[in-house]
Chain A
Amino acid sequence: MVLSFGSVPVLELLNITKEFYGNRVLKGVSLSVMPGEVLGIVGENGAGKSTLMNIVFGMPVIASTGGYSGEIRFEGRTVRISSPREAASLGIGMVHQEFMLLPGFSVAENIKLNREPTRPNFLSRLLGERLETLDLKRMGEDSRKALDELGMDLDEWLPVAGLPVGYMQFVEIAREIDKTNVKLLVFDEPTAVLSETEAERLLEAIRVISSKGVAVLFITHRLHETLAVSDRVVVLRDGEKVAELRASEASVGQLAEMMVGRKLERSLRRGRGPGSAGEPFLVVRDLHVDMPGERVRGLSFQVRRGEIFGIGGLAGQGKIGIANGLMGLYPARGEVYKGGKRLELGKPELAIRSGMAFVSEDRRRVGLMLDESIEFNIAATAVQVKGKFLKDLFGGLLKMVDWSAIREHALRCIKDLDIRCTGPDQTVRKLSGGNQQKVCIARALTLEPDLLLVSEPTRGIDVGAKKLVLETLVRLNEEMGMTILMTSSELAELRLVCDRIGVVCEGKMTAILPPDADDRLFGLAMAGEKIQAA
């Protein structure tokens, strides 16, 4: 693309560093974007993309957590953007992942929202500007113009409520380009909710926008889209800029490899799992799970007896939905066989009875009763579903909870799993994240499962405790022969402990790879490129 709109970058970030509570999420990132240029930014979850955008937008979360260091230059002038309002007045626009539209308003009203052209009337002369009449005709004309620029053949007076999702995205974009002063437009995963043809149209729209001299930052995990529309691509990994390439010289495979990177040491496994010889223990066919934000859309895989099977992928792609669907916590359909028996979906009680136990990713809500004691948390589910820790009263008329048996069991768990606490009667809220996670694992093990589902076992846990939790899982597998289905956003930790790793993208499994497979393959699979299992 010809850069004929001037030689001063619209936006220049110099050495941006950001810490959250001592955790450095951005480590000296620098980048710049020229007028009329499309700059692609790619990276895994947690690579720092969103934090970077929050800084550019002056989101309050940045200031409230101690601000950032480094310099931002807008059109050559150093600026300190302290609120989204300020960002907007500079000419920075953003197309959000979630739509910020009023459903009951028409397309035109949404596009001109809060910036409506108005005409004075006699009331407004009396009582001030805010009472001026809306100039509906001009609102319609302006909206028509913005929609035409995007190539959208859509009636500007239709209400937003009934529009297909793809159209809503375009209304958002139309609103941004209608702003007369917009100089930089940020697209944050705009194609995530679009169909393929809609995504094509969106890319076309981005080209149109940039050809008018607007600079575009395009954030996505779909690598081929980045390459199709960007002039340059920046790759972020672990808060660092690892590469900046001309899109014409880069390939999808190259980007994938840079995005994932080699960041692990040796596997924690001493022996390997059963390998291809193990019989299929859990068979999942065409699983659909309706979990908001983590939809599973027709996914199949098999877990062999005695292996640790990992599920990886980016956030929001559906990997979390799998275990939640299998456990019956969200509406699910599909065929699931465990040990040859068909499992009825949608009923947690049946799932637990069939020998599955779940360590939830939502530790504080689903995994634990925070204000209750360790022993109560560990025993509660086993009491209810397995009828453990009960003694009869009045000849079995009432089944009483046997607290002394629970105490005994809890003490054993505390010792076996090395839970650091003042005793089994301590409330779980007072424990550290790592120890809370161990309580969750103890609770699951108390159900005596033969299949353990573990989701995000190390989320929100400090580094030392992470290793302990992972080692515990490996020990369970190797010493007790427990089959484990582990879901994690951190590919590195999956590669540390798993025998095989399935990668989920857009609710489907794109690949099942050995943990020592090439980074490039993992990167491609996470970006949704279909590849043949190695």
Chain B
Amino acid sequence: MLGLWNKLLNKYGYPKVSISLMLVVMLSLAVWLGLDPVELVRSSLVRSAMNSVLVLAMVPAVACGVGLNFALSIGIVGGLMAGLISMELGLRGVLGFAFSVVLSVPISSLLGYLYGLLLNRVKGDEMTVGTYMGFSFVSLMCIGWLLLPFRRPEMIWAIGGKGLRTTITLSGYYDKVLDRLIPLGGLPVGTILFFGLLALLLKLFMESKWGMALKIAGLSPSFAAASGVDVDRQRILGTMISMVLGGIGILVYAQSYGFFQLYVAPLMMPFAAASAILIGGASARHASISHVISGVLLFQSLLTVSLPVINKMMPEGNLSEVIRIIVSNGVILYALSRSSGGDVR
């Protein structure tokens, strides 16, 4: 028994094993408390699909050597901006969503490029700097959302008529446009396929000559330099791809959720994405698409299942939110304490 336990730990690592166990406990509790297990699984899948692309955005950042992208909120803001512009133009349905995605790419790329320039000046401290850069940018955009000249009545404050609302509903635009693209028992098939497509594209890129350069730069900067790879350029490229995926990720998230959330909503989103991929078995130096899939499934399922269970057991207060924060931050703390400082010159 102990042998099996150690084998599991060695193969999957503490977070993955303990979160899986916790998930099993929660599921059993749910069934015992009389919750509908099928519905729980369904909503777990919906939530996982909703977050999947945001988690995928961590992969290129880790691969190019800048570590987990705690400033993903910058890319998220880029995606939100694109979404709002398409809304302002009155584009709806699949067209509106597609337009938002296409428009978000140049916006997030530009932001990612500038942020990448910054990261090349703070080598070794990317994750610390990134965290605060993300916070600062979100705060800056709180002013931006108030001042930007959007006019559509659904988007701006009803009273006063100026500044964007904190929550903007997408119903009538592209609410659940991917989730319901292929109707199949309430499962978000379209969103899963969209994630699959992006994951495939990322995989192809990583297996190409360019992706290999990115990987080499992340694995060993000195080896990369001696192999004629421009390390700084690869780091910028990796950061840009991460930000672009972050932008697309928030659009996928929003269509499934049904709302754009502005102002401080993007603040903590990078942390949820980071903890998901860490639970999946990634580290600050190594991450793959399989880490994304297993991580997002485990993390989101746990949150989805534990929420009604804890609410039912302890009806007072919102303990489920507390649990979510403890789990996600605990996992980040654990994973970061395990990752070494890396190759810093």
Contact = CB atoms under 8 A, between A and B. Distances in A.
B228 A348 contact: yes
B223 interface: yes
B226 A384 contact: no
A314 interface: no
Interface stretch (A56-64, A247-255, A360-368): A360-368
B217 to A, nearest CB: 10
Interface residues of chain A: helix, strand, loop or mixed (majority): mixed
Contacts of B334: none
Given A362-B222, A372-B219, A401 B228 contact: no
Interface in A317-355: 327, 329, 347-349, 352-353
B225 interface: yes
Interface residues of chain B: helix, strand, loop or mixed (majority): helix
A398 B223 contact: no
B208 A401 contact: yes
Most buried by A among B207, B211, B228: B228
Interface residues of B, number: 20
B208 A384 contact: no
A358 interface: yes
Contacts of B229: 384
A398 B208 contact: yes
Contacts of B213: 384
A327 B223 CA distance: 13
B208 A380 contact: no
A360 B225 CA distance: 12
A368 B209 contact: no
A360 B226 contact: yes
Contact of A381 (B205, B207, B210, B228): B228
A383 B211 CA distance: 11
Nearest to A377: B223
Contacts, number: 71
A347 B220 CA distance: 18
B216 interface: yes
Interface string B62-77: 0000000000000000
A369 interface: yes
B24 to A, nearest CB: 33
A85 interface: no
Given A369-B219, A371-B219, A393-B204, A387 B226 contact: no
A365 B223 contact: yes
Interface in B214-241: 216, 219-220, 222-223, 225-229
A381 B208 CA distance: 14
Given A390-B209, A398-B204, A400-B208, A369 B226 contact: no
A362 B222 CA distance: 10
A349 B230 CA distance: 9
Nearest to B205: A398
Most buried by A among B216, B227, B343: B227
Given A329-B226, A348-B228, A381-B228, A369 B216 contact: yes
Contacts of B226: 327, 329, 348, 358, 360, 366-367, 381
A457 to B, nearest CB: 16
Nearest to B228: A349
B212 interface: yes
Nearest to A387: B209
A242 B324 CA distance: 72
Contacts of A399: 208-210
Contacts of A368: 220, 223
A123 to B, nearest CB: 40
A165 interface: no
A158 interface: no
B227 A381 contact: yes
A385 interface: yes
B209 A383 contact: yes
Nearest to B206: A401
Nearest to A398: B208
Contacts of A358: 226
Interface in A133-154: none
B222 A365 contact: yes
Most buried by B among A347, A353, A368, A369: A369
B211 to A, nearest CB: 8
A366 B345 CA distance: 12
B225 A383 contact: no
Most buried by A among B207, B216, B220, B343: B220
Contacts of B211: 401
Most buried by B among A349, A352, A398, A399: A398
Contact of A348 (B209, B212, B227): B227
Given A348-B225, A393-B204, A400-B208, 6 more contacts: A329-B225, A352-B227, A365-B220, A366-B223, A370-B220, A385-B227
15 contacts: A327-B226, A329-B226, A349-B228, A352-B228, A353-B228, A362-B222, A365-B222, A366-B222, A380-B212, A384-B227, A385-B227, A400-B204, A400-B207, A400-B209, A401-B211
